[in-house]
Structure 1
Amino acid sequence: MQIFYTKNFKRKLQHLPVKLQAKFITQLNLLLDNPRQSTLKVHPLKGNLAGLRAFSVTGDCRVVYKIQKPDTIILIDIGSHSQVY
């Protein structure tokens, strides 16, 4: 699986606390191993974010991403629920 990051995503990830960055890596690995893992709460987005998907890092931290091809994910945004939606 190939993973790409937008500049915005990289910038926001770097500004997160180290513990949250580590949790993101754990959750990303879960997504790669099993996209249907219930703890990720993966869901398609609607409205102006239609065509994108999101998964949970923590209770309030979300990652917005796009599946480009069956083997390619583009990470678009990370932050609190109110920041990314």
Structure 2
Amino acid sequence: MIKKFEERLNLFLVDPNHPLLQNHKLISQKSIFRSFSITGDIRVVYKIEGDATRLYDIGTHNQVY
């Protein structure tokens, strides 16, 4: 799982909108957050803060949403 996370994080850093990442803005209370996929069910929740991107949560779809 760590290797897959590293691969997807590196892809995110190069091309945040790559189709494999399924990057999207979250709807609801977490609307200031975005998410991208590590695997079919594992997601990373993040927020862009100025020039930085801060990762907030990593887990299954049900855990982070």
Q: Please give the alpha-carbon distance, in whole angstroms, between the structure 2 residues aligned to 1:68 and 1:21.
A: 25
- In the other structure, the counterpart of 1:74 is 54
The 5 A counterparts of 1:36-47 are 36-47=17-28
Aligned residues: 65
Q: Which has the higher contact order (CA 8 A, sep 6+)?
A: 1
Output the CA distance in 1 between the equivalents of 2:64 and 2:32.
15
Aligned to 2:46: 65
Q: Give runs of ≥4 in structure 1 deviating > 6 Å.
A: none
Greater share of helix residues, 1 or 2?
1
**Bigger Rg, which one:** 1
Superposed, 1:13-24 pairs within 5 Å as: 20-24=1-5
Mark the runs of 5 or more structure 2 residues left unpaired by the alignment.
none
Unpaired runs of 5+ residues, structure 1, are 1-19
Q: Deviations over 1:41-60 (max 9, x none)?
A: 00000111111000000000
